[in-house]
Amino acid sequence: MLLAAHAGDRDAMLRLLQVLQPNLRRYAQQRCFISDIDDAVQESLLLLARHLGSVRKLASLSGWLFRIVQRECRRLGRVALKQDPYEEALVDQWMVSHTPDSARLDVASALESLPPHYLEVVLLRDFEELSIREISERLGEDVPAVKSRLHRARAMVREYLLA
Protein backbone atom coordinates (compact mmCIF):
# COMPACT_ATOMS: atom_id res chain seq x y z
CA MET A 1 0.00 0.00 0.00
CA LEU A 2 2.85 2.38 0.89
CA LEU A 3 4.67 1.73 -2.36
CA ALA A 4 1.48 2.19 -4.38
CA ALA A 5 0.72 5.47 -2.59
CA HIS A 6 4.31 6.61 -3.16
CA ALA A 7 3.87 5.83 -6.86
CA GLY A 8 0.78 8.03 -7.01
CA ASP A 9 -2.14 5.60 -6.53
CA ARG A 10 -4.93 7.76 -5.08
CA ASP A 11 -6.88 4.87 -3.50
CA ALA A 12 -3.73 3.55 -1.84
CA MET A 13 -3.04 7.04 -0.49
CA LEU A 14 -6.51 7.24 1.04
CA ARG A 15 -6.11 3.81 2.65
CA LEU A 16 -2.66 4.78 3.93
CA LEU A 17 -4.02 7.97 5.52
CA GLN A 18 -6.81 5.99 7.20
CA VAL A 19 -4.33 3.43 8.54
CA LEU A 20 -1.92 6.05 9.87
CA GLN A 21 -4.46 8.35 11.50
CA PRO A 22 -4.99 6.38 14.76
CA ASN A 23 -1.24 6.08 15.40
CA LEU A 24 -0.67 9.77 14.71
CA ARG A 25 -3.57 10.63 16.98
CA ARG A 26 -2.11 8.57 19.85
CA TYR A 27 1.25 10.25 19.32
CA ALA A 28 -0.35 13.72 19.24
CA GLN A 29 -2.26 12.99 22.46
CA GLN A 30 1.09 12.74 24.25
CA ARG A 31 2.49 15.96 22.77
CA CYS A 32 -0.36 18.40 22.11
CA PHE A 33 -2.86 20.33 24.14
CA ILE A 34 -6.10 18.39 23.98
CA SER A 35 -7.72 21.10 21.85
CA ASP A 36 -4.91 20.85 19.26
CA ILE A 37 -4.78 17.08 18.70
CA ASP A 38 -7.15 16.91 15.74
CA ASP A 39 -5.56 19.95 14.08
CA ALA A 40 -2.06 18.52 14.42
CA VAL A 41 -3.07 15.14 12.99
CA GLN A 42 -5.01 16.74 10.14
CA GLU A 43 -2.13 19.02 9.17
CA SER A 44 0.33 16.11 9.32
CA LEU A 45 -1.83 13.94 7.09
CA LEU A 46 -2.20 16.80 4.61
CA LEU A 47 1.57 17.25 4.48
CA LEU A 48 2.01 13.52 3.96
CA ALA A 49 -0.51 13.49 1.12
CA ARG A 50 1.24 16.44 -0.54
CA HIS A 51 4.81 15.26 -0.14
CA LEU A 52 4.77 11.44 -0.09
CA GLY A 53 5.92 11.28 -3.70
CA SER A 54 9.05 13.27 -2.84
CA VAL A 55 10.08 11.10 0.12
CA ARG A 56 13.36 9.44 -0.82
CA LYS A 57 13.55 6.75 1.86
CA LEU A 58 10.23 5.12 2.59
CA ALA A 59 11.82 3.32 5.54
CA SER A 60 12.18 6.65 7.33
CA LEU A 61 8.57 7.70 6.66
CA SER A 62 7.24 6.99 10.14
CA GLY A 63 9.98 9.00 11.84
CA TRP A 64 9.42 11.86 9.41
CA LEU A 65 5.67 11.76 9.99
CA PHE A 66 5.93 11.68 13.78
CA ARG A 67 8.35 14.60 13.59
CA ILE A 68 5.74 16.54 11.61
CA VAL A 69 3.14 15.83 14.31
CA GLN A 70 5.59 16.93 16.99
CA ARG A 71 6.38 20.18 15.16
CA GLU A 72 2.72 20.88 14.55
CA CYS A 73 1.96 20.35 18.25
CA ARG A 74 4.74 22.79 19.10
CA ARG A 75 3.48 25.33 16.58
CA LEU A 76 -0.07 25.12 17.90
CA GLY A 77 1.23 25.33 21.47
CA ARG A 78 3.23 28.46 20.64
CA VAL A 79 0.09 30.03 19.23
CA ALA A 80 -1.94 29.08 22.30
CA LEU A 81 0.69 30.20 24.83
CA LYS A 82 1.94 33.15 22.78
CA GLN A 83 5.52 32.07 23.44
CA ASP A 84 8.18 29.90 21.81
CA PRO A 85 9.82 27.53 24.30
CA TYR A 86 11.91 25.95 21.52
CA GLU A 87 13.33 29.23 20.16
CA GLU A 88 12.19 28.35 16.64
CA ALA A 89 12.52 31.99 15.53
CA LEU A 90 16.18 32.00 16.59
CA VAL A 91 16.80 28.80 14.68
CA ASP A 92 15.13 30.22 11.58
CA GLN A 93 17.18 33.40 11.91
CA TRP A 94 20.38 31.36 12.28
CA MET A 95 19.53 29.31 9.19
CA VAL A 96 18.89 32.41 7.08
CA SER A 97 22.09 34.12 8.21
CA HIS A 98 24.36 31.21 7.20
CA THR A 99 25.41 29.89 3.84
CA PRO A 100 25.33 26.10 3.51
CA ASP A 101 29.13 25.97 3.84
CA SER A 102 29.29 28.19 6.92
CA ALA A 103 26.40 26.25 8.49
CA ARG A 104 28.30 22.97 7.93
CA LEU A 105 31.40 24.44 9.56
CA ASP A 106 29.42 25.73 12.54
CA VAL A 107 27.65 22.40 13.01
CA ALA A 108 31.00 20.58 12.77
CA SER A 109 32.43 22.92 15.43
CA ALA A 110 29.38 22.34 17.62
CA LEU A 111 29.77 18.57 17.29
CA GLU A 112 33.48 18.79 18.08
CA SER A 113 32.63 20.67 21.27
CA LEU A 114 30.54 17.76 22.59
CA PRO A 115 31.93 15.38 25.21
CA PRO A 116 32.79 12.02 23.59
CA HIS A 117 29.82 10.08 25.00
CA TYR A 118 27.40 12.69 23.59
CA LEU A 119 29.17 12.91 20.25
CA GLU A 120 29.06 9.14 19.87
CA VAL A 121 25.28 8.91 20.23
CA VAL A 122 24.70 11.83 17.81
CA LEU A 123 26.96 10.26 15.20
CA LEU A 124 25.28 6.88 15.51
CA ARG A 125 21.77 8.33 15.26
CA ASP A 126 22.13 11.21 12.82
CA PHE A 127 25.00 10.10 10.60
CA GLU A 128 24.86 6.30 10.67
CA GLU A 129 21.03 6.49 10.94
CA LEU A 130 20.79 3.75 13.55
CA SER A 131 17.58 3.37 15.51
CA ILE A 132 17.54 4.12 19.23
CA ARG A 133 17.29 0.38 19.92
CA GLU A 134 20.31 -0.35 17.69
CA ILE A 135 22.31 2.35 19.45
CA SER A 136 21.36 0.99 22.86
CA GLU A 137 22.48 -2.49 21.83
CA ARG A 138 25.75 -1.22 20.37
CA LEU A 139 26.55 0.88 23.45
CA GLY A 140 25.23 -1.60 26.00
CA GLU A 141 22.89 1.07 27.42
CA ASP A 142 19.16 0.92 28.00
CA VAL A 143 16.83 2.74 25.58
CA PRO A 144 15.81 5.55 27.98
CA ALA A 145 19.49 6.34 28.68
CA VAL A 146 20.24 6.58 24.96
CA LYS A 147 17.22 8.82 24.37
CA SER A 148 18.25 11.05 27.24
CA ARG A 149 21.84 11.30 26.06
CA LEU A 150 20.74 12.07 22.50
CA HIS A 151 18.35 14.76 23.72
CA ARG A 152 21.06 16.37 25.85
CA ALA A 153 23.58 16.21 23.00
CA ARG A 154 21.19 17.87 20.57
CA ALA A 155 20.34 20.54 23.15
CA MET A 156 24.06 21.24 23.61
CA VAL A 157 24.56 21.57 19.83
CA ARG A 158 21.56 23.88 19.62
CA GLU A 159 22.88 26.02 22.48
CA TYR A 160 26.32 26.19 20.85
CA LEU A 161 24.87 27.26 17.51
CA LEU A 162 22.46 29.84 18.91
CA ALA A 163 24.88 31.36 21.44
Residues 78-111 pLDDT 10s: 777 665 555 666 777 777 787 888 888 988 998 9
Q: Three-state DSSP class for 62?
A: helix
CATH number of 88-162: 1.10.10.10
CA dihedral 44, 48, 50, 56 (to 10 degrees): 140
Residue 119 confidence (pLDDT) above 90: yes
Whole-angstrom Cα Rg for the chain: 18
Whether residue 24 contacts residue 61, with contact meaning beta carbons closer than 8 Å, is answered with: no
Q: What percent of the chain has pLDDT above 90?
A: 25
Residue 121 confidence (pLDDT) above 90: yes
Most confident option among 4-8, 70-74, 117-121: 117-121
Q: Sign of the C-alpha dihedral, residues 128, 133, 138, 142? A: positive
The residue type of 17 is L
Residue 145 confidence (pLDDT) above 90: yes
What fold does the segment set 2-81 form as a domain? Rna Polymerase Sigma Factor; Chain: A (1.10.1740)
Q: Which residue has the higher pLDDT, 52 or 141?
A: 141
The residue type of 13 is M
Domain with CATH 1.10.1740.10 in the chain: 2-81
| Interval 123-135: pLDDT, tens | 999 888 888 999 9
The residues, ordered by sequence, that sit 6+ positions from 37 with a Cβ below 8 Å of its Cβ are 25, 28, 29
Cβ atoms within 10 Å of 49's Cβ, excluding its own? 15
Domain with CATH 1.10.10.10 in the chain: 88-162
Query: What value, to the nearest 5°, has the Cα angle with vertex 102 and ends 155 and 100?
Result: 90
Whether residue 107 contacts residue 154, with contact meaning beta carbons closer than 8 Å, is answered with: no
How confident is the model at residue 139, as a pLDDT?
A: 94
Distance CA 96, CA 105 (A): 15
Record the pTM. Answer: 0.48
